[in-house]
Structure 1
């Protein structure tokens, strides 16, 4: 029986019995959803498992690990204040600071993990609020993934590479 799933068999586990599997709690099936008990006592295929869909984690697959979701959240930041980002069952806050370097305004993004207090800032003079916050968030996530505190984003290739 897969974790987060259930099976229904036509004739218990006797020869010729077909067992059909379904998943619960937002999980999806990985493997064949129906297997048959063969004459020799083996099953026609391995029992399937129940897994979270791509970009989801958590007991009920309720937590996103998508960079695109984070980027969208950070795009909505206001010029002042901070925003809390939920990622993979964890959370961090980001804020931005404005610097006037003529002829342009430049921004520094600062993100802090809520659990560990790990802070990441990007002071390289971004010209957009969301760009500075996204750069800091991406670098913070990379650091915490390396420390095995955060799961790897499912779309890590979309993250900014320069802080």
Structure 2
């Protein structure tokens, strides 16, 4: 029995969390001002990598809560994990927010290989018209010319970048533009403008 105006408080055991007021008082009519407090099982905070973010949790980290995770920078899927009644997270394994080797783009939809863009340059026509090269979602234009002693030079430029990349004194248009393209690729990768191709080491290091 408790005297009128007696107040009682409670505290949840370890691994449980309060979900209602913690203090109740015995009133004049012998009734408690609030029902006995409720504790719910909780799951520990999950450790996630910096490239993963939590988007939705239905009920914080209480048991029964379902949380959704996705990659911060890539659109390559979502996972769901649930806080179980035993206080453990269950469900799908966490995402690996990286594209497979030689792929890039926000959905890993592009093949990023030096050999692929080199092959595009090697299909250049014999005329002096510019050749367009695709690297991921970027468009590169390469244009060759001959000097007075009949050596070839070539300039390559990304459509969204001011700088031009130039190589000269080659016997063929193909050689000149392949080197100019490698020159552009290495510089824009170093500046963080381009994702690095998986075979960058196979490209020419300089003009």
TM-score normalised to structure 1 length: 0.69
Deviation at 1:122, TM superposition (A): 0.4
Contact 1:111 1:140 in 2 (8 A): yes
1:74 aligns to 2:121 (yes or no): yes
Secondary structure (helix, strand or coil) at the match of 1:84 reads strand
Q: Which of the pair is proportionally richer in helix?
A: 1
User: Residues of 1 paired with 2:116 and 2:181: CA distance?
Assistant: 12
- CA RMSD of superposed structures (Å): 2.6
- C-alpha displacement of 1:7: 4.1
Please name the residue that 1:106 is paired with.
Answer: 151
After superposition, residues 58-73 of structure 1 pair within 5 angstroms as 58-73=105-120
Counterpart position of 2:96: 49
Q: Following the alignment from structure 2 to structure 1, what is the Cα–Cα distance between the partners of residues 95 and 80?
A: 13
- 1:112 deviates by 1.2
Relative to the length of structure 2, the TM-score reads 0.56
SS at match of 2:151: strand
| Residue pairs, 1:95-134, within 5 angstroms | 95-99=143-147, 101=149, 105-123=150-168, 125-134=169-178
Unpaired stretches in structure 1, ≥5 consecutive residues: 16-38
Is contact 1:64-1:88 (8 Å) kept? yes
- Residue matched to 1:149: 193
Name the larger-Rg structure. 2
Aligned to 1:14: 84
What residue number does 1:83 align with?
131
Query: 1:117-162, CA deviations, whole angstroms, 9 ceiling, x for partnerless residues?
Result: 2101101x11122111010011112222222212222111110123
1:49 and 1:2 map into 2 onto residues whose CA distance is 10
- 1:6/1:45 CA distance change after superposition, 3 Å: closer
The residue matched to 1:96 in structure 2 has which SS?
strand
Q: Normalized per residue, which structure has more strand?
A: 1
